[in-house]
Amino acid sequence: MIDKIILGHNQFFGVNHLEAQAGNEREAYFSEAARIMEIVNFSFDQGVRGMMMSTHERAFVVAGEIQKDARLQRELGIYLLVPYVAKYIKQANEKGLVNIVKDALSGTSLQDKLGMFWRGGMGLLTRDFKKILTAMIDFEVAPFASLNLRAIFLHDVMTDLALGWEVPEVFQLYAEHVQGKYGAIPAFCTKNLGRLMRLLGRAGIDNPLIMASINKLGYQVNPSRAAFEQTLREHRLQLLAMSTLAAGYLKPGEAYEYLFSLPNIAAVVVGVSKKTHARETFSIIRHYQSAGKPREPLPAATHEMLA
Amino acid sequence: MLNVAVVGIGKMGLLHAGIMNALQGVRLCAIVDTSKFLLGFAQSLKQEVEIYEDFQKMLDQSKPDAAVLATPVFLHVPMANACLQRGIPFFLEKPLSLTSREAEALVAGVEKRGLTTMVGYMMRYVETFAKAKQLLQSGALGELITFQATIYVSQLFKTGKGWRYNKQESGGGVVIGQATHLIDLLRWYFGPVSRVSAHTRNWYSREVEDFAHAHFEFASGLTGWFDSSWSVRHHRLLEVSLTVHAANGNLIVCDDYVKLYLDKAAAGFPAGWTNFMKPDLFEGVEIDLGGPQYTRQDSAFVAAVKNGTRLESDVRNAYEVQRIVDAIYASAAGHGAPVSL
């Protein structure tokens, strides 16, 4: 069972899908870890027990802060997103893919074995690509391994690359490794839900945990909102919904009313950067999440926000 | 079924191979790279794809219906020529060539043979920049007067490794490697450029420029400038921004939105602000891998190859972009002295 509300992390690291400029400003504000921890602690006190984290450099600092706090380390479930793709894209521009792998693995026990790949032929490599993939996962997860890792998500760029190349073996390998080594739920982030569900079916992965964008506007929903909704109806999965406000474009009321009218919505990830905003957002989500059951009345401030 | 080969499986090659493999009516038939490591990795993932270390051998043995060339710039023209000789339509990652002169014969050959080609100036397929093109074409703004444009990313803050920072292999730095996206947009929006003056600065890189500033005069009379760098802070992603000042208002476009301001209502748009945010403009794609613009671009290429038609963003267009790049470098070498095209 995963947490129903998961605190997002993009706002802390300058990701803003509506306005890059605003994201850049927020990134400067959250360059102090204390400001991030203030929101984390506040959300925790509001009953939010899950937090998304990418393996961004700043997240290492946040991970350190969480470790210092026994309560957070024990009770805050971490939903880790690997790898931090933006970093690798920059590195790929700078030094090429081969050097990325070489550098990432330098100092690991795998390095000596890998030396053979660069010297030797492809036969060796072909047999051992699994070792490279799992070593890369371990490299990414290492700074967070002592946290309460509830799920480890494969970043959508990686998931969708394996999807485009059509290699279900990557998903099998990933799932086995994450479950076996970390005891965490192997999960996938994607921009192509329908296609992913078909391939995961081929990989023998049942009832997967998947993070994908879904909102009433159909923003970042591929190939269309209608097709996405059909996948939700026809497949067994647990969806962690992201971009539910279409990058801040939708009002929370209409956004969550739509979201929780859909089947298989297990949880929602939400980015908040202010306490008042956090309190109101959590309360609106809980209001619509409990659809079907008697709903608690919304606080006055929330009504104002929905208006 | 269209058989497509992908040459060079670095970042962009991996991406195009993934998209091509996923598009309906397309089969990824072969991949080529000189890195045994990347080839082995790719083969281990995808056993049914033919792999080659030798590009020419691949063309002759695999006989693809089209090729995606995602190799370092110095290989572009020789590889494109090899495709041309065999009549194989090709998609080439931008930029076209090290210099415009290097590509002259290629462009002439492609046009003589009527071969379908495309060069990867994908910004045209980003929703906001495509919308801005429509708004500019609508004539709502009246006569265009001047513009300012920037293209920035926080990428390089120490000496870079690899072919991009070696002038022999890349042709130059941030102008050819990155600002060409913006130069392509400016040409697409405003037509031919008649004169440029430019300044560049190396700071982190030894051989190539990290900063560039250029002033443009277009044949239409429009003037304006761009500023570009891959070494500025606080730009997590590559960000393009353009403001156009015109007789009846102004237009602002970036990756996230298009904002049109009009003094008087025109071409169906009211006076005052009309805003289009990216979510307004979004349309889903068959597969999104690294951004929907890449899929739209690859789909357009595939459709043109199947129909044997020409694309706007072809080698001729890229050649014109390259001529502007050459003029920028010539002007910068002369401390900003204007260079006519």
Q: SS3 sequence, B243-299?
A: EEEECCEEEEEECCEEEEEECCCECCECCEEEEEEHHHHCCCCCCCCCCHHHHHHHH
Helix then strand count (H, E) for chain B reads 12, 15
pTM assigned to the model: 0.90
Question: Using a CB-CB distance cutoff of 8 angstroms, which residues of chain B are in contact with residue A89?
Answer: 11
Nearest to A263, CA basis, from A299, A298, A228: A228
CA B328 – CA B182 distance, rounded (Å): 13
Cβ atoms of B261 and B241 closer than 8 Å: no
H or E segment to which residue B304 belongs: helix B292-307
**Best residue in A191, A228, A250 for a mutation probing chain B (most B CBs within 10 Å):** A191
* Interchain CB distance below 8 Å, B37 and A101: yes
Cβ atoms of A83 and A92 closer than 8 Å: no
Residue B77 tokens read as 């023209």
* Interchain CB distance below 8 Å, A24 and B40: no
- If one counts every other C-beta atom within 10 angstroms of the C-beta of residue B340, the result is 9
Listed as own residue / partner, the contacts of A292-299 with beta carbons closer than 8 Å and 24 or more positions apart are none
pLDDT tens series, chain A, 307 aa: 788 999 998 777 766 555 666 666 666 666 777 888 899 999 999 999 999 998 877 788 888 889 999 999 999 999 999 987 667 776 776 667 667 666 766 665 555 555 545 444 444 445 566 777 788 888 889 889 889 999 999 999 899 999 999 999 899 999 999 999 999 999 999 999 999 999 999 999 999 999 999 999 999 999 999 999 999 999 999 999 999 999 888 999 999 999 999 999 999 999 888 888 889 999 999 999 886 555 566 666 666 665 5
- Which segments within chain B are labelled E, that is strand? 2-7, 26-32, 50-52, 66-69, 90-92, 117-119, 144-152, 193-201, 211-218, 223-229, 239-246, 249-254, 257-262, 272-277, 339-340
ipTM score of the complex? 0.90
Alpha helices in B115-269 (DSSP H): 127-138, 167-170, 174, 180-190
Question: Using a CB-CB distance cutoff of 8 angstroms, which residues of chain B are in contact with residue A101?
Answer: 37
Residue B138 tokens read as 């609508």
- If one counts every other C-beta atom within 10 angstroms of the C-beta of residue B31, the result is 25
To the nearest whole angstrom, how far is the Cα of A71 from the nearest Cα of chain B? 33
Report the greatest alpha carbon distance in chain B: 62
Question: Using a CB-CB distance cutoff of 8 angstroms, which residues of chain B are in contact with residue A129?
Answer: 40-41, 44-45
pLDDT tens series, chain B, 341 aa: 999 999 999 889 999 999 999 999 999 999 999 988 778 778 877 888 999 999 999 999 999 999 999 999 999 999 999 999 999 999 999 999 999 999 999 999 999 999 999 999 999 999 999 999 999 999 999 999 999 999 999 888 988 878 888 888 888 999 999 999 999 999 999 999 999 999 999 999 989 999 999 999 999 999 999 999 999 988 888 999 999 999 999 999 999 999 999 999 999 999 999 999 999 999 999 999 989 999 999 999 999 999 999 999 999 999 999 999 999 999 999 999 999 99
Q: How does DSSP classify residue B154? A: B
Residue of chain A with shortest Cα separation from B281: A219
CA angle (B241 as vertex; B240, B244 as ends), nearest 5 = 140
Give the model confidence (pLDDT) of B66-87 as tens digits: 999 999 999 999 999 999 999 9
